[in-house]
Structure 1
Amino acid sequence: MLPTSTDVLVVGAGPTGLTAALALARRGAEVTVVDRLERPPVTSRAAVVHAYTLEELDRIGAAAPLIARGLRSPGFTVRDRDRVLLTVPFRTLPSRHAYALMVSQSVTEEVLTGELAALGVTVLRPYQVTGLAVDAAGATVAFAGGATVRARYLVGADGMRSLVREQAGIGFSGPATGAESFALADVRVTSALPRDQVALFLARSGPLVWAPLPDGVVRLVAAVDEAPADPDAGYFQALLDERGPARRPDRVTEVLWSSRFRLHHRIADTFRAGPVLLAGDAGHVHSPAGGQGMNLGIVDAVDLGSTLADVLAGGPETLLDGYAARRRPMAEEVVGFADRLTRLATLPPSRRPARNLLFRLISVLPPARHRVALRLSGLDQRPRGARPAAHP
């Protein structure tokens, strides 16, 4: 049952909302989490948790249980069919988490939900936001069925179609046209590819991400002209035949689940409007190339949860302006990075030799390779002079 009031109301129980709530609960703040879905989804887009994200999760005691459920990947490869254009090793990263953790988003949500439950916070479902009124002392949120909740602060972590963002009147800027279409699935395949490395296949028709998960599962994500409503094994086999290994082709033996999605590259005009704060996909959406989306949202959430806890403990409201000032430029940089990766994947044939030469040059230059690893891992976001958090 919904409370009538709370210090912080978090709308959205995906990785971002759960992380923000956990950061607050660890500090003893009163936090309520609601979600519009009756039960958590068992399928999800994100499949990688990068090193810097794990460092941030260390700060709220959530990294260790998540690592126990995932597969550690020591590197990332960029390929053009059978040609390895670039290998990016993670073993030399300046982090205790010198790897990428391969784990389904649904498992990430399960772990975060469990950590919250251990602190006495449960996700309240299903509650759909229908209205929002803001004043100098906080926000009043209305829900379908007539219930209302009064909150000192409201966190919109309700995804790219965020009702919190819309109700708060925050713009969501981006191209008016050109939404990208993606097909994705968890599959079982016979494959000669390494079972501990993510591969990004570059093709004229679009990129294909091949990402290993625990228990022999492989996550496939492909940019396509128009994905079918229910892409089947034959559809993903055709994508692998067109974009994947040629000499020793993959063979799809089972599709565990599949889906499609469309998205624009968009960023919220601001991450704060009075007591309303945005994080994750409510504030930024972009191509999944590079596996940055959920990671950026989780880092948003640790920052926001910690900042809100400081304010609730007596810190100045201007700390929240600092959160917005830090996170929006970071979102702009990540959106641009994902866009550049997508454009590199879809270059016309006449420009692909120059692109491939660039990747080969990076591959043989350790400093350049290291910079790419830092960028993919998110460690380039670490504040200058900051040290990784100690294990809690």
Structure 2
Amino acid sequence: MRDVVVVGGGPVGLFLGALLAERGLDVAVWERREAPGASSRAIGIHPPSLAAFDRVGVADAVAAEAVRVRRGIARSGRRTLGVVPFAGVHPRFDFVAALPQLRTEAMLEARLAELAPGALQRGVELVAVDDADPSRVRLVARASGVESSEVARFVVGADGPRSTVRGHLGVAAALRSYPDPYVMGDFRDDTGSGDDAVVHLEGDGVVESFPLPGGARRFVVHTGTRLQDATAEDVARLVSERTGSPVDPATNTMLSGFVARRRIADRTVRGRLALVGDAAHEISPIGGQGMNLGWLDALELAPLIVAAVAKGAVDEGALTAWGARRLGAARRAAGQAEANMALGRPVGAARRVVRDTALSAVLATPARRTLARAYSMAWT
């Protein structure tokens, strides 16, 4: 019987697998995809996550390859409203690391392979879950069209917002969609903003701008109305019109449109099964905290699983408390994302003056330190 099966080999599942393998558990990570994804939607790695990565020995490598964002700048109409500095938000990592998700996943996958060769099993799809026996969980998986059975002492669903594990558990997760369409893309960075993150609060909608390794920059644009089949030319035009920065559409390497959503599970634990990451809580990506929430879920869950395997019994009280804490963190992050979206919606001239004046006043006070802690997830 295997100690743990983690369903989902994305960034959260890989990290949890590495945490458990580092503690000596027999772990398998099942991933439905045959190969890593081709695009990187998430890029921000916050200080608490970097500290968590230290537990499996990848923090230094991630920080070395990432762009270290040490401050965020708010602008409107080509005017700087204020600065949010990240100095002091963490004793070691006083920055947000900007790195495409593909690279972060690759480092976590390599570390898992070092700790537990063969633990990541690609092309494996979960078919059925049976947790009627309180001492174990029976699973049915399909790979290359062939079904097989597995028995584990503990199972974790890290399989994304449409979680198969959550579906098998019958856990409800109400979906809320917001009236906020966005398009994002990566281009060569000709802004002159260096390693700063810049948020342009313009009348037609926000343009968020983040540096990436290799002289690239990620732009996230509120489009007002949803653009069907947006092109690199569309995004470059919107960014240039609103910010005044030149953007060359020929340098585009990633393009994606989305509408922000929120989906938080009613619960995350049942017996020997647990949900982490987007399987437990999908929140708006505006603010960049969703992937980090998943890593912190895993960090807190891992020692509880280790203890359950060692004792041969699950501490239901500890797991329930973990689930409540993590859902509370998700609701807080979701609320912050909602505030970010509201701040960046299209706005008329009069309201824009009021908004900009208020924000400029706040950023001129020590409250900017509080905002820095909120945006860097120091509150976790």
TM-score by length of 1: 0.89
2:111 match = 115
2:345 match = 346
Whether 1:138 and 2:136 are equivalent positions in the alignment is: yes
CA–CA distance in structure 2, aligned partners of residues 118 and 329 of structure 1: 34
Contact 1:362 1:369 (8 Å CA) reproduced: yes
Question: What's the CA shift for 1:267?
Answer: 0.7
Contact 1:170 1:273 (8 Å CA) reproduced: no
Amino acid at match of 1:261: F
Tell me whether 27-36 or 205-214 shows the greater mean CA deviation: 205-214
Question: What's the CA shift for 1:316?
Answer: 3.0
1:105 match = 101
What secondary structure, in the 3-state scheme, does the structure 1 residue paired with 2:84 have?
Answer: strand
Give deviations 1:145-171, integer Å, cap 9, x for gaps.
Answer: 312222221111111111111111111
CA–CA distance in structure 2, aligned partners of residues 37 and 60 of structure 1: 24
Question: What's the CA shift for 1:347?
Answer: 5.5
Amino acid at match of 1:265: R
CA, structure 1 residues 8+232, in 2 after alignment: closer, same or farther (shift >3 Å)?
same
CA–CA distance in structure 1, aligned partners of residues 91 and 180 of structure 2: 34
2:80 match = 84
CA, structure 1 residues 37+223, in 2 after alignment: closer, same or farther (shift >3 Å)?
farther
2:258 match = 261
What secondary structure, in the 3-state scheme, does the structure 1 residue paired with 2:93 have?
Answer: coil
CA, structure 1 residues 186+348, in 2 after alignment: closer, same or farther (shift >3 Å)?
closer
CA, structure 1 residues 38+223, in 2 after alignment: closer, same or farther (shift >3 Å)?
farther
Amino acid at match of 1:45: R
Question: What's the CA shift for 1:189?
Answer: 3.9
Question: What's the CA shift for 1:355?
Answer: 1.7
C-alpha RMSD of matched pairs (Å): 1.9
1:43 match = 39
CA–CA distance in structure 2, aligned partners of residues 198 and 51 of structure 1: 16
Whether 1:169 and 2:170 are equivalent positions in the alignment is: yes
What secondary structure, in the 3-state scheme, does the structure 2 residue paired with 1:92 have?
Answer: coil
CA, structure 1 residues 287+201, in 2 after alignment: closer, same or farther (shift >3 Å)?
farther
CA–CA distance in structure 1, aligned partners of residues 206 and 299 of structure 2: 31
CA–CA distance in structure 2, aligned partners of residues 174 and 352 of structure 1: 31
1:276 match = 273
CA–CA distance in structure 2, aligned partners of residues 14 and 72 of structure 1: 23
For residues 39-78 of structure 1, what are the structure 2 equivalents within 5 Å? 39-78=35-74
CA–CA distance in structure 2, aligned partners of residues 204 and 270 of structure 1: 40
Question: What's the CA shift for 1:227?
Answer: 4.0
Contact 1:180 1:223 (8 Å CA) reproduced: yes
Question: What's the CA shift for 1:255?
Answer: 0.9
Contact 1:51 1:97 (8 Å CA) reproduced: yes
1:240 match = 239
2:284 match = 287
CA–CA distance in structure 1, aligned partners of residues 212 and 108 of structure 2: 19
What secondary structure, in the 3-state scheme, does the structure 2 residue paired with 1:202 have?
Answer: strand
Give deviations 1:64-95, integer Å, cap 9, x for gaps.
Answer: 12112211111112222412223111123242
Aligned residues: 371
CA–CA distance in structure 1, aligned partners of residues 344 and 180 of structure 2: 14
Contact 2:153 2:309 (8 Å CA) reproduced: no
Question: What's the CA shift for 1:291?
Answer: 1.3
CA–CA distance in structure 1, aligned partners of residues 148 and 226 of structure 2: 40
CA, structure 1 residues 262+125, in 2 after alignment: closer, same or farther (shift >3 Å)?
farther
Question: What's the CA shift for 1:211?
Answer: 1.0
Amino acid at match of 2:154: Y
What secondary structure, in the 3-state scheme, does the structure 2 residue paired with 1:128 have?
Answer: strand
What secondary structure, in the 3-state scheme, does the structure 2 residue paired with 1:264 have?
Answer: strand
TM-score by length of 2: 0.92
CA–CA distance in structure 1, aligned partners of residues 168 and 332 of structure 2: 26
Structure 2: runs of 5+ lacking an equivalent: none
Question: What's the CA shift for 1:61?
Answer: 2.1
Contact 1:200 1:207 (8 Å CA) reproduced: yes
Question: What's the CA shift for 1:130?
Answer: 2.2
Whether 1:357 and 2:354 are equivalent positions in the alignment is: no
Whether 1:306 and 2:303 are equivalent positions in the alignment is: yes
Tell me whether 155-164 or 55-64 shows the greater mean CA deviation: 55-64
Whether 1:226 and 2:226 are equivalent positions in the alignment is: yes
Question: What's the CA shift for 1:357?
Answer: 1.7
1:327 match = 326
The equivalent position to 2:29 in structure 1, one of 29, 33, 36, is 33
Contact 1:25 1:119 (8 Å CA) reproduced: yes
CA–CA distance in structure 2, aligned partners of residues 179 and 7 of structure 1: 43
CA, structure 1 residues 318+61, in 2 after alignment: closer, same or farther (shift >3 Å)?
farther
CA–CA distance in structure 2, aligned partners of residues 160 and 182 of structure 1: 19
CA, structure 1 residues 263+151, in 2 after alignment: closer, same or farther (shift >3 Å)?
farther
Tell me whether 336-345 or 279-288 shows the greater mean CA deviation: 279-288
1:390 match = none
What secondary structure, in the 3-state scheme, does the structure 1 residue paired with 2:251 have?
Answer: strand
1:214 match = 213
1:389 match = none
Give deviations 1:261-304, integer Å, cap 9, x for gaps.
Answer: 34421211111122221111111112222211111111111111
What secondary structure, in the 3-state scheme, does the structure 1 residue paired with 2:360 have?
Answer: helix
